Amino acid sequence: MGYENDDSEQAHNDELPEEMETVVLDEPSTATISEALSSDSPSRVMSSRIPNSFNSFLQTPSSAEAVFRSFDGDHSHDGELNGHNSSGETSTSSALSTTEYLRISVSDPQKEQDFANSLVPGGNTYYTYLVTTRTNIPQFGGFEFSVRRRFREFVTLSDRLLEAYRGFFVPVRPDKSMVEGQVMQKQGFLEQRRVELEKYLSRLAAHPLIKRSDELRLFLQVEWKFPLVQTRDVASRMFDGAVKLPQQLFRETAGALDPKEASQPARVGSDLLRIFKELRQSVANAWGKKPAVVEEDEEFLDKKKKVLYLEQQLSNVSVQAESLVKAQQDMGETMGELGMAFVKLTNLETKEATYEFQIARAADMKYVATAAVKASRLYRELNGQTIKYLAKLHEYLELMLAINNAFLDRSNALLTLQTLLSELSSLSSRIEKLEAASLKVFGGDRSKIRKIEELKGAITVTEGAKDCAFKEYEQIKENNKSELERLDKEKHNDFLGMLKGLIVNQVLFSSLAVTCFMNF
């Protein structure tokens, strides 16, 4: 066990002069990388858990890059994903025997022209991206397919998902940046956007429910343009349940709607439409002020506080991690520069040697030079790996945004419910007043009676809306709950994985650094 240079290094160890402290040499374990990973402690359990790819590395020469890459081999499942880990595979430790996969890549930005909607002759130019999917999920009815999508369509997808999956931690899409035509052509921008879009789709694919959603499937598979819906006002988002109500009333269709319909706004009778419009308005007004929502669920409030704290700490750790990476980078750079300076010195001493002493000194300098340059390379590798593992932190920070949205969904649903309840009670009291007033007139007041009928109709509709809103609220609460549970579990695994990766990385790096400087 060990690597090619092992023998020569052992020989070197023996030659060290007496007065040198053998603090490092006393433990033969640090002389070989294999033992670098396994500690001297009795628990040998760990070495058996080292991934196979790492064990195979032990046989190969110790080039710093080979070391790090072979260890990494266990983590990046698919090169196309640029080392990104959320490939939609079920990654819990209790591995399923059949893994379903959904791998999405975004590539090949191309310029296209839009003649239809442009004011400028020659058309607007925009960029499209090739979205390629590979999957074995049966709903897709295929293994591999691609479509071209422009950024606008991603926005639509995101909006649709947010509407359809309220209360869930729906991954947040990349920002629209206000860039004009010129800037968009810059290579950097296109590439950055491509990467962000790919990450976004991968995160969608990793969500257990969204990966099976119609919205995503349509987006990934269907060739026609993903239609741009007029941005519905915020309040109308909250009436999804209520919008279905009239259809249910008129057509009594339950269950999945025709896909084409999913992308069209619903049609309702004009009266109901008017009533709905008024309801929307009152909710929007309620939202306009500070929501007086009193969330009574203690457990939820407690979880919410925890999530908030988590967000703060993640943010903090992320900042510190960044400066740690920078410090490591600087160290590596300076080490390299020092090494190069010593190389120059070595050359000078060897070239212009007129005394024997110079040759001895040149040998010493050369040693320091080589060690420093090697160490510098190690630092670079270390950082590359560290950044990859720290990426998990950023994933979770982005997740925080999705979580905030989910919590907002909940408080909005509650507000809607409460608004509808107060609407109902105000309608009831108006009816009471009218009834009382009409009793005073003999035979009834025809206009008042008509009004009362109208109001009773409104109550029916509002009751229906309230029922939907109530169902919606309960559903969202459920969604919140199940998502929080999922978060806890995944967080546990993800964080441990991240920690392990970071630590093993550091151990590897330091052990290699020891051998760099050791054989003086």
Partner 1 sequence: MENTEQPRSISGSMQSPRSPPSSQPYLSVSVSDPVKLGNGVQSYISYRVITKTNFPEYQGPEKIVIRRYSDFVWLRDRLSEKYKGIFIPPLPEKSAVEKFRFSAEFIEMRRAALDIFVNRIALHPELQQSEDLRTFLQADEETMERFRFQETGIFMKKPADLMQMFRDVQSKVSDAVLGKEKPVEETTPEYEKLKHYVFELENHLSEAQKHAYRLVKRHRELGQSLLDFGKAVKLLGACEGEPTGKAFSDLGTKSELLSIKLQKEAQQVLMNFEEPLKDYVRYVQSIKATIAERGTAFKQHCELAETTKLKEINLDKLMLTRSDKVGEAEIEYREIKAESEEATRRFERIVKRMNEEIVRFQEQKTEEMGVAFHQFAKGQARLANGIADAWRALLPKLEASSSV
- Judged by CB under 8 A, the stretch of 59-67, 312-320, 430-438, 470-478 that binds partner 1 is 312-320
For 216, 279, 283, 415, the CA distances from 422, given in Å and listed in that order, are 37, 11, 11, 10
User: Contact with partner 1 (CB under 8 A): which of 314, 414, 417, 465?
Assistant: 314
Q: How far is Cα 477 from Cα 472, in angstroms, rounded to an integer?
A: 9
Q: How far is the CB of 3 from partner 1 (least distance, A)?
A: 17
User: Contact with partner 1 (CB under 8 A): which of 257, 341, 421, 459?
Assistant: 341
401 binds partner 1 (CB under 8 A): no
Q: How far is Cα 73 from Cα 480, in angstroms, rounded to an integer?
A: 36
Which residues are 126's β-sheet partners? 112
Q: How far is Cα 141 from Cα 92, in angstroms, rounded to an integer?
A: 26
Q: How far is the CB of 127 from partner 1 (least distance, A)?
A: 39
With respect to partner 1, which residue has the nearer C-beta, 345 or 391? Answer: 345
Contact set for partner 1, span 430-469 (CB under 8 A): none
Q: How far is the CB of 346 from partner 1 (least distance, A)?
A: 9
Q: How far is Cα 246 from Cα 465, in angstroms, rounded to an integer?
A: 10
DSSP letter assigned to residue 128: E
With respect to partner 1, which residue has the nearer C-beta, 260 or 500? Answer: 500
Residue pair 207/167 in contact (Cβ under 8 Å)? The answer is no
Contact set for partner 1, span 372-391 (CB under 8 A): 375
Q: How far is the CB of 329 from partner 1 (least distance, A)?
A: 10
List b or e across 328-353, with b for residues whose CB sees 16 or more CB atoms inside 10 angstroms. Answer: bbeebeebbebbeebbebbeebeeee
Tell me the backbone φ, ψ of residue 113, rounded to 5 degrees.
Answer: -115, 145
Count of beta carbons in the 10 Å neighbourhood of residue 141 = 9
- Judged by CB under 8 A, the stretch of 136-144, 189-197, 236-244, 332-340 that binds partner 1 is 332-340
With respect to partner 1, which residue has the nearer C-beta, 30 or 63? Answer: 30
Q: How far is the CB of 367 from partner 1 (least distance, A)?
A: 7
Q: How far is the CB of 51 from partner 1 (least distance, A)?
A: 13
Contact set for partner 1, span 84-143 (CB under 8 A): 93
Residue pair 376/335 in contact (Cβ under 8 Å)? The answer is yes
Contact set for partner 1, span 149-208 (CB under 8 A): none
Contact set for partner 1, span 462-491 (CB under 8 A): 488, 491
- Judged by CB under 8 A, the stretch of 1-9, 60-68, 115-123, 492-500 that binds partner 1 is 492-500
Q: How far is the CB of 410 from partner 1 (least distance, A)?
A: 21
- Judged by CB under 8 A, the stretch of 17-25, 84-92, 155-163, 455-463 that binds partner 1 is 17-25
Q: How far is Cα 455 from Cα 149, in angstroms, rounded to an integer?
A: 48
Q: How far is the CB of 433 from partner 1 (least distance, A)?
A: 54
User: Contact with partner 1 (CB under 8 A): which of 345, 391, 421, 455?
Assistant: 345
Contact set for partner 1, span 34-73 (CB under 8 A): 36-37, 39, 41, 43, 45-46, 49
List b or e across 7-17, with b for residues whose CB sees 16 or more CB atoms inside 10 angstroms. Answer: eebeeeeeeee
Residue pair 260/385 in contact (Cβ under 8 Å)? The answer is no
User: Contact with partner 1 (CB under 8 A): which of 316, 426, 429, 447?
Assistant: 316
Q: How far is the CB of 297 from partner 1 (least distance, A)?
A: 20
Q: How far is Cα 473 from Cα 167, in angstroms, rounded to an integer?
A: 9
Q: How far is the CB of 368 from partner 1 (least distance, A)?
A: 5
- Among residues 319, 312, 446, 325, the alpha carbon closest in space to that of 379 is found at 325
Q: How far is the CB of 43 from partner 1 (least distance, A)?
A: 5
With respect to partner 1, which residue has the nearer C-beta, 11 or 46? Answer: 46
For 5, 162, 240, the CA distances from 234, given in Å and listed in that order, are 67, 11, 11
Q: Quote the tokens at residue 175.
A: 């920002």
Q: How far is Cα 107 from Cα 183, in angstroms, rounded to an integer?
A: 19
User: For the range 400-405, what are the long-range contacts, defined as Cβ-Cβ under 8 Å and sequence gap of 24 or more?
Assistant: 400/307, 400/310, 400/311, 400/314, 401/172, 402/169, 402/170, 402/171, 402/172, 403/169, 403/307, 403/483, 403/487, 405/162, 405/169, 405/170, 405/172
With respect to partner 1, which residue has the nearer C-beta, 130 or 343? Answer: 343
Q: How many residues bind partner 1 (CB under 8 A)?
A: 75
Half-sphere exposure of 297 (CA within 13 A, CB side): 15
Contact set for partner 1, span 346-375 (CB under 8 A): 348, 352, 354-355, 357-358, 360-361, 364-365, 367-368, 371, 375
With respect to partner 1, which residue has the nearer C-beta, 140 or 379? Answer: 379
With respect to partner 1, which residue has the nearer C-beta, 100 or 364? Answer: 364
- Among residues 266, 274, 239, 237, the alpha carbon closest in space to that of 250 is found at 266
- Judged by CB under 8 A, the stretch of 274-282, 308-316, 409-417, 454-462 that binds partner 1 is 308-316
Contact set for partner 1, span 288-307 (CB under 8 A): 306
Q: How far is the CB of 311 from partner 1 (least distance, A)?
A: 10
User: Contact with partner 1 (CB under 8 A): which of 180, 230, 323, 442?
Assistant: 323
- DSSP labels, 282-334: HHHHHHHSPP------HHHHHHHHHHHHHHHHHHHHHHHHHHHHHHHHHHHHH
Between 494 and 513, how does the x/- string for binding to partner 1 read (CB under 8 A)?
Answer: -xxx-xx-xxx-xx--xx-x
Amino acid symbol at 386: T
330 binds partner 1 (CB under 8 A): yes
Q: How far is the CB of 371 from partner 1 (least distance, A)?
A: 6
